[in-house]
Amino acid sequence: MIKKILCMGSINIDLVMYMSKLPTAGETVVTDNFQTFSGGKGGNQAATASLLGGNVKYFTKLGTDNFSKELISKQIEYGVDMSNIIIEPDSTAGIAMIRVDESGQNSISFTPGANSLLTPEDVEKNAHIFDDCDILLITMEIQNETVYKAIEIAKSKDMIVVLDPAPAPENGIPDDIAKLVDYTKPNETEAQILTGIKISDMETSKFALRRLKEKGFKSPIITLSNAGAITYDEEQLYFIEPLKVNSIDSTAAGDVFIGAFTAALSKGESYKECLRFAKTAAAFSTKVKGAQSSIPNLNELTEYLNGQDQI
C-alpha cells in the first residue's frame, strides 16, 4: 500500500525573468521574457510527489488574495489534498522573484507572505492532520520553530521525516531535531551552513557528509549541482552519478529531486531506487522552463528508467 505524504513548507507565486546573464550589484539587465508560475519549495515538492504517484496532502497558511486562490486551485489540479489549508485574513501568498540566465543558473529573491504566519501553535492545534499520514516532507521556507514542531509531532506518530533544509538556518539545525530526521538533502551551500565545512571539491563534500551524519541525520544526501550527489548506503559512501541533459532552467531541480525521492519512498522502493528515480526526475525537470511546469511526466520517466541499467 502506498504511504500517505504530508507536505509542509512554502507555497508561492514565482515571477520569472529569463535573461542572457544574471545582473551584478547595481547592474540592470534588460529582458522581454517574463512568465508567472505556481511555485514555492513546498508547493513544488507536493506537486512533484503527487504527479509522480504519491498520495499527498498539504498543510500551511495562505491569504485571501487572488494569488492564494490560484495556488490552491493549482495544487488541487495536481491531485494534492488542500482541505487543511488555513486562510489568514488580509494576508497574501508568498512571492518569489526569479532570474534565470541562458545557462539555466538562477538567482531568487523571496517574500514569504502568509507562509511565515504558520506557527508552532498552529501545528499543535492541528496535530490530528498528521494522524493518517506516514511521511512528512518539509522545507524551511517557513518559521524554523514551526518546522521543528512539525518534525517532533511527526516522529511522535512514527512517521518518516524527509527534510529539505532550504534555506538552511544560519545557526544550523539543533542536534535533537537532526536526530529525528530520516532523510535530508542539502545542496553545497546548505551543507556548508549546517556543518561549517566549505565545500570546494569531492573530499570536502565527504567531510561535510560525515559531519551531517555525526550531528544525527540518519541518511544525509548532499547534492553537488552538475557533479551529482553523495550519500551513505548502509554506512558505505555512495556517489550518485549526474544524468547529462540539455539543461535550460534549474529553478526547481532540487525540489523535483526530493519530491520524486519521497514519492518513490512512499511506494516502498529501495534507497538506491529512490535516488535513481529522484536524480532522473530532477535532470528531466531542467529541460523545461519554470518550477511546477517543469515536473516530468510519470509515464515518460518510467519508460526512460525501464530502458536504463540499474544504478
φ/ψ (deg, to 5) at 274: -60, -40
- Helix ranges (H only) for the chain are 41-51, 66-77, 120-125, 144-156, 175-178, 188-195, 202-215, 253-266, 271-285, 298-306
Cα end-to-end distance, the chain, whole Å: 25
147: number of Cβ within 10 Å:
25
Contact 17, 33 (CB under 8 A): yes
DSSP per-residue letters across 90-149: T---EEEEEEE-TTS-EEEEEE-GGGGG--HHHHHHTGGGGTT-SEEEEESSS-HHHHHH
Q: At what angle do helices 271-285 and 253-266 cross, to 10 degrees?
A: 150
122, 164, 249, 255: the catalytic one is 255
Q: Is 255 a catalytic residue?
A: yes
Residue type, 186: P
Could you list the active site residues?
Answer: 255
